[in-house]
Chains A and B, each alone.
With several copies, the nearest count.
Chain A
Amino acid sequence: MAKLMTMKEAIARFVRDGDLVIMEGFTHLIPFAAGHEIIRQRRRDLTLARLTPDLIYDQLIFAGCARKMIFSWAGNPGVGPLHAFRRAVEQGKPRPLEIEEYTHFGMVLRFMAGASNLPFLPTRNYPGTDLTEVNPGFKKVRSPYADEELWCVPALHPDVTIVHAQRADAEGNTQVWGLYGVQKEAAFASRRVIVTVEEVVDASVIRSDPNRTLIPGTIVSAVVCEPFGAHPSFVQGAYDRDNDFYVKWDAVSRDETTFQKYLDEWVYGLPDRAAYKEKMGTRVSELQADRQLCDPVNYGF
């Protein structure tokens, strides 16, 4: 089965109403193009899991795609709150949003437990925090080795995980450099995996540097070639973070009318990411990364 397909096709085939979805990327490589396509295809009742919901989930919440959110930090980094998230939680608009809240460490451990097919993982974190009072997901286990108790978090088993990366081959063998975030753990925890990349490369490129492979093709369902697919977040070596966009988003998203206008113009009003990049105009080249190549290493024997 050929895995290489368009974003429209990948979302249509592998993201279903009611799914538990992870779209990861910690500041780096956030799969915005995939998020926009999910909005365009009007998926509903999704449970969205992510350490930092960021603008991508704020948009999905406003568009009415989300029933529940599992997260650890819901803000616009260095700028302010996520307004759609706050309206949903504080006023139930556009619909009430169920929330399940952990910390960054707890979220990664949940992904790792799922990826390792374990029911839970323990940590020395969490004594004293009120989070364990409001979230029954935290439970204690007694060490069989010493008289001590540890808090645990339960495995998370997403239906689909979507990640963006610098490059992959047609089989989905995916390579990432710069910030790794938690994508590997999220992908292995998931039933289905969609990989969107700046560049689809020949397998020989992947095979020239196997230590860079973060996600193996064997767990990947779909590969989408989607240049600029992470904007307004960034891709190390390709384009910088669009910090102005994040700053301006505060005003855009505070007002529901301008928020809707943004979605109408940049999501519903466009067929795909190519059109989005086109519409971005000169901003694309302004964000283009400088060239700073690493020293190559020798894999010979």
Chain B
Amino acid sequence: MTDYTTSELMVSRASKELKNGDVVFVGIGVPSLAVNLAYRLHAPGICMIYESGAVGCVPKRLPISIGDPCLVTGSLAVVPMLDVFNLYLQRGLIDVGFLGGAQVDRYGNINSTVIGDYRKPKVRLPGSGGACEIAALAKKVVITIGNSKRTLPEKVDFITSPGYLRGGRERETLGLKGGPELVITDMGVYRFDSGTREMVLVSIHPGVTLQTIKDNIGWDVRVAQDLTETPPPTAEEIRIIRRELDPQGIFLRSKAG
């Protein structure tokens, strides 16, 4: 079988979350590669939307930023950002949104604002951008992040983008639909318990032990009874990723998310 990098595995796994006809809010890096992989394989009818306002993109090169000119040329529509947020996201037209962050906690809340205190931050991070509205208004959110005690604490320092908050029905109670569906890390894949809404490990990447994961997460994580091994990327997927999507390895030699 083919050798592959962890990032390639994450891209392959993320692409499987996308159905043909999905309207997808795309970010740069693993999400962009995952969507383009799905587009080339099982979801040719997927519609890619970038928060920059490009809709139905067919990038001729790997986009380096969400506002890359290659997203505009040949796209189906370019719309004002106000429309992206009002008419697509808030209107409920976005099926899947991809998010990353510096921290994701037990209930899928995401921090991309500060490490430490907001007023006297240890590390000042970029902030929400469009992440908060994607987390609040997309029908479904897929998260990609590294797997460590630092990146997966029991509680994030700051909730930039709401997941299930303190779990249970708190998110619904606040009037929010959707929510995080899946967390894909460099070690495994997690889903959210339908009752408690906490992260549950559902698959482990080949070569990673359960103990390694338990040693690299900030709480005593629940493990699914039917825990499986994450399927490795196929030779065809690897070929497309390396030959067509990221020939210079711009993203897949850097770290995930």
Distance from A213 Cβ to chain B, minimum over Cβ atoms (Å): 4
- Chain A, Cβ-Cβ closest to B170: A128
**Which residues of chain B are near A234, meaning CB under 8 Å?**
69
Q: Is the CB of A218 within 8 A of B23?
A: yes
Q: Is the CB of A74 within 8 A of B90?
A: no
Q: Is B80 in contact with chain A by the CB < 8 A criterion?
A: yes
**Which residues of chain B are near A124, meaning CB under 8 Å?**
90, 136-137, 175
Residue among A129, A177, A216, A236 making CB contact with B77, cutoff 8 Å: A216
Q: A28-B67, A103-B133, A125-B133 are in contact. Are A236 and B52 (CB under 8 A)?
A: no
Q: Is the CB of B136 within 8 A of A188?
A: no
Q: Is B240 in contact with chain A by the CB < 8 A criterion?
A: no
Chain B interface, >50% SS class = loop
Q: Is A241 in contact with chain B by the CB < 8 A criterion?
A: yes
Q: Is the CB of A179 within 8 A of B72?
A: yes
Q: Is A271 in contact with chain B by the CB < 8 A criterion?
A: no
Q: How large is the interface on B (under 10, 10 to 19, 20 to 34, 35 or more residues)?
A: 35 or more
Q: Which listed segment binds B: A39-47, A112-120, A159-167, A194-202?
A: A112-120
Q: Is B161 in contact with chain A by the CB < 8 A criterion?
A: yes
- Complex: how many Å from CA A42 to CA B41? 46
- Complex: how many Å from CA A5 to CA B126? 36
Distance from A226 Cβ to chain B, minimum over Cβ atoms (Å): 19
Q: Is the CB of A217 within 8 A of B76?
A: yes
- Chain A, Cβ-Cβ closest to B61: A301
The 8 A CB mask of B116-144 against A (1 = contact, 0 = none) is 00110101111111111100110000000
Q: Is B44 in contact with chain A by the CB < 8 A criterion?
A: no
**Which residues of chain A are near B69, meaning CB under 8 Å?**
28, 178, 234, 236, 240-241, 289, 301
Q: Is the CB of A179 within 8 A of B78?
A: yes
Q: Is the CB of B67 within 8 A of A179?
A: yes
Q: Is the CB of B64 within 8 A of A52?
A: no
Distance from A212 Cβ to chain B, minimum over Cβ atoms (Å): 9
Q: Is A131 in contact with chain B by the CB < 8 A criterion?
A: yes
Q: Which listed segment binds A: B81-89, B190-198, B199-207, B229-237?
A: B81-89
**Which residues of chain A are near B121, meaning CB under 8 Å?**
89-90
Q: A218-B23, A241-B68 are in contact. Are A72 and B161 (CB under 8 A)?
A: no
Q: Is A292 in contact with chain B by the CB < 8 A criterion?
A: yes
List the 4 closest pairs (A to B, CB-CB), nearest first. A27-B67, A128-B162, A73-B129, A301-B69
B interface residues (Cβ-Cβ under 8 A, vs A): 23, 28-29, 47, 51-56, 58, 64-70, 72-82, 85-87, 89-93, 109, 113, 118-119, 121, 123-133, 136-137, 158-162, 165, 170-171, 174-176
A interface residues (Cβ-Cβ under 8 A, vs B): 26-28, 51-52, 71-75, 77-78, 81, 85-86, 89-90, 101-105, 108-109, 112, 115-118, 123-131, 134, 148, 173, 177-182, 184-185, 188, 203, 206-208, 210-211, 213, 216-219, 234, 236, 240-241, 243, 289, 292, 299-301
| 12 A/B residue pairs, CB under 8 Å, sorted by A | A73-B128, A81-B126, A112-B82, A126-B136, A128-B136, A131-B160, A148-B175, A207-B56, A210-B74, A210-B78, A216-B76, A217-B76
